[in-house]
Chain A
Amino acid sequence: MSEIQYSSPANVDALDSAERQIAAKYMRMVPWGAVAWAFSNLAVWLSLWPLVLLDIMPLWLGFIIASLNVSLCYLPSHEAQHNIIARRGQPLRWLNELVGHISVIPLVQPYRVLRDTHMEHHAHTNDPQLDPDYPVHAPSGFAFLLKSIQSRQSGSDANQSYADALQRRGKDHELIDALVYSVVHLGFLISMAWSGYALEAALLWWLPRHIGLTYIQYYLSWAPHHPGNGRGRYKDTRAFKSRLGNLLSLGMQYHIVHHLYPHIPLSKTPAAYRELKPILQQRGCDLGDL
Chain B
Amino acid sequence: MKLFGLLFSPLVFGLAFLAPLLAQSITALGLPTAGINPLWIGFIVGGALGLSAQLRGSWFWIKP
Question: Which residues in A have some Cβ–Cβ distance to B below 8 Å?
Answer: 146, 149-151, 153-158, 179, 182-183, 186, 189-190, 193-194, 196, 198-199, 201-202, 206
- Give 18 new A-B contacts, CB below 8 A, not counting A186-B7, A199-B25: A149-B60, A153-B58, A153-B64, A154-B54, A155-B56, A155-B64, A156-B57, A182-B8, A183-B4, A190-B17, A193-B21, A193-B24, A194-B20, A198-B21, A199-B21, A199-B24, A199-B28, A201-B17
Q: Is the CB of B62 within 8 A of A193?
A: no
* Chain A contacts for B8, CB-based, 8 A: 154, 182, 186
Task: Check B56–A196 contact: CB distance below 8 A.
Answer: no
Collect the chain A residues with CB atoms within 8 Å of residue B16's CB: 190, 193-194
Chain B residues lying within 8 Å of A156, measured Cβ to Cβ, are 57-58, 64
Determine whether the beta carbon of B62 is less than 8 Å from that of A146: yes
**Contacts between the two chains (Cβ within 8 Å), count:** 67
* B45 interface residue per 8 A CB criterion: no
Tell me what chain B mostly uses at the interface: helix, strand, loop, or mixed: helix
Query: CA of A151 to CA of B20 in the docked complex: distance in angstroms?
Result: 26
A154 in contact with B58 given A190-B16, A193-B16 (CB within 8 Å)? yes
Nearest-neighbor residue (CB-CB) of B16 within chain A: A190
A157 vs B64: C-alpha distance when bound (angstroms): 8
A39 to B58, CA, bound (A): 36
